[in-house]
Amino acid sequence: MPFFSPNPSFETYRQNWDSGRGLRLAEHFCNVSHFLCRMRRQLRFGEFSRAHLTLLRLQLLGDAVECDWVARPPDPWDVDLPKRAAMRHASLQALRDAIDVRSALFHSFPVIETAYLRVFRDLPAQDREIIVAGCVQRNDNASRWVHSLAMRARILGFRFDLDGEVLRELPEGQRELARFEFQLH
């Protein structure tokens, strides 16, 4: 069929729509919209920081999703605290946000079973470092009764490196493993 046909055939599109495949695209758009609204509404302010999350990437991959975002910076009101305490609050907020974004993803995308999540931290020299990464599953509900935020994040499948209570850049081995997992799917 020529590209500029005066009588284009819409039969294939109608068949795709009737078979339900057309609805999947509309469903995906609705799910993405629902997730973005949920992030904007529920994750607007953090418990330890009032800054907004910055979404870098959201990609649907069949029954999986990849999502990258930038962690909230330390709260401006923490400027009078010792630097270690401000970084501790930012680290706790990053772990809380990782758990909450995981929950929002699985709530917004009911057919998704696996999520590949990465959290970056902005550095002063306009660089970013990866501080949390994880391949998380929908059915990981064992963490509900764990009170430690760091342990709950570990149980859910997140990888991170804590120096005291401050997140450090992921070590090269864990970063490469996380990148390898992302490339598999």
pLDDT tens for 109-122 read 888 899 999 999 98
In the chain, domain spans: 11-184
User: pTM of the entire structure?
Assistant: 0.75
By DSSP bridging, strand 54-61 and strand 128-137 are unpaired
Task: Give the SS3 label for residue 53.
Answer: coil
Query: Is residue 158 within 8 Å of 132, Cβ to Cβ?
Result: yes
pLDDT at 79 over 90: no
pLDDT tens for 31-75 read 877 777 777 766 666 565 566 788 899 998 888 999 999 998 877
pLDDT value of residue 36: 76
pLDDT tens for 122-159 read 888 878 899 999 999 988 666 677 888 899 999 999 99
- Taking the C-alpha atoms of residue 31 and residue 151, their distance in angstroms, rounded to an integer, is 30
Average pLDDT over residues 10-27: 55
- Taking the C-alpha atoms of residue 46 and residue 102, their distance in angstroms, rounded to an integer, is 15
